[in-house]
Amino acid sequence: MIFRSLFFIFVFVPFLIVIIPLQALIVRLRLPFWYAVPRMFHRLGCVFLGLRVRVVGEVATGRPTLLVSNHISWADIIAIGSVTPVIFVAKREVSEWPFVRIMAYLQKTVFVDRTRRSGTGRTAKAMGQAMARGDNVVLFAEGQSDIGTHVLPFRSALVGAAQHAMEAAGAKEVNIQPLTIAYTKMQGLPISRNERSLVSWDKSKSVKQNIRHILSGPVKDVTVAFGTPQVLREGVDRKTITKAAENEVRATLVALNRTGSVPVKSAQV
């Protein structure tokens, strides 16, 4: 904890003082290398939070990519953002959190209002525009976070809406790629079910409690696994593709929790 406190005071805070106005200018000018600063931020965030990130596979190339992922904790964003440049889709409430709102804007985060039907359309349009520009988008497809032992059903509505938005933007095909995040060890030892409460963010905890648990907890090993992409094009059933991605993420999560390795298919891109 002493190391993290010193790191925060002498490294993290000075970095933020410099990069926040710089990144705001980069985003405003729409410069193509906008993702460089957020990636540096996330890598420093991993050091501060005690996250050791292992990567399996890589992001698909050749066409715009929508990464559909499971969701365990807000720390998922730090872990994923440290290994690849992406734009996240987050619930509207996040845009109301102090500081987080600023950092989310600087990473071009897309916010979705799940309480309104019209919110899905606006979110899909923003996702489609981002992917049409060549940016990769991460969607936490369960719609909520869970403890990290299983995967909730993926919601296909935003996947289909993003497809229509992509077509409207002029792109006819998009990669739908499964993305699995798993917290496998704490202080070098396999994480137990009870210890998962020190990482996961469920409804029984407030944001402050979750932040306190992660900051005060030991070093955590995290695996970010990019799975097998499928092409979503006009006429393809988005529910079938979403379900296939869900099944792959579930199988990969179970394998990572049990053995620390992933099925061969999930490691190929």
Each residue's pLDDT tens digit, 211-263 = 888 888 899 999 999 999 998 887 788 899 999 999 999 999 999 999 988 87
pLDDT-derived band at 34 (thresholds 50, 70, 90) equals: very high
| Contact of 225 with 57, CB cutoff 8 Å | yes
Half-sphere exposure of 265 (CA within 13 A, CB side): 13
189-203 residue pLDDT tens: 999 888 888 888 876
Q: Does any domain span residue 198?
A: yes
Task: Note whether residue 258 is domain-resident.
Answer: yes
Q: What is the signed CA dihedral for 150, 39, 231, 173, rounded to 10 degrees? A: 140
pLDDT band at 265 (very low <50, low <70, confident <90, very high): low
What's the whole-number mean pLDDT along residues 38-66? Answer: 94
Are 83 and 158 in contact, with CB atoms under 8 Å apart? no
The mean pLDDT of the chain is 88
* Opening angle at CA 88, ends 82 and 91, nearest 5: 130
Assign 92 a pLDDT band (cuts: 50, 70, 90). Answer: confident
Whether 269 has a pLDDT exceeding 60, the answer reads no
pLDDT at 67 over 50: yes
Cα–Cα distance between 148 and 257 in angstroms, integer?
Answer: 9
Domain contains 66: yes
Task: Give the chain's domain count.
Answer: 1
Q: Reply yes or no on whether the pLDDT at 113 is more than 70.
A: yes
Position 33 in a domain: no
Note the pLDDT of residue 122.
Answer: 79
Mean pLDDT of all residues in 120-142: 84
Q: Is the pLDDT of residue 187 over 80?
A: yes
Whether 104 is covered by a domain: the verdict is yes
Greater pLDDT, 135 or 40: 40
User: Is residue 56 one of the residues assigned to a domain?
Assistant: yes
pLDDT at residue 267 is higher than 90: no
Is 46 among the domain residues? no
Residue 29 falls inside a structural domain: no
Q: What integer pLDDT is reported at residue 244 of this predicted model?
A: 95
Residues of the chain with pLDDT > 90, as a percent, come to 54
Q: Which residues constitute the domain of residue 65? A: 51-267
What CATH number is associated with residue 199? 3.40.1130
Positive/negative CA dihedral, 210, 211, 214, 217: negative
Which pLDDT does position 264 carry in this prediction?
62
Distance CA 59, CA 74 (A): 21
Map residue 179 onto helix, strand or coil: strand
Dist. CA 139–CA 214, nearest whole Å: 23
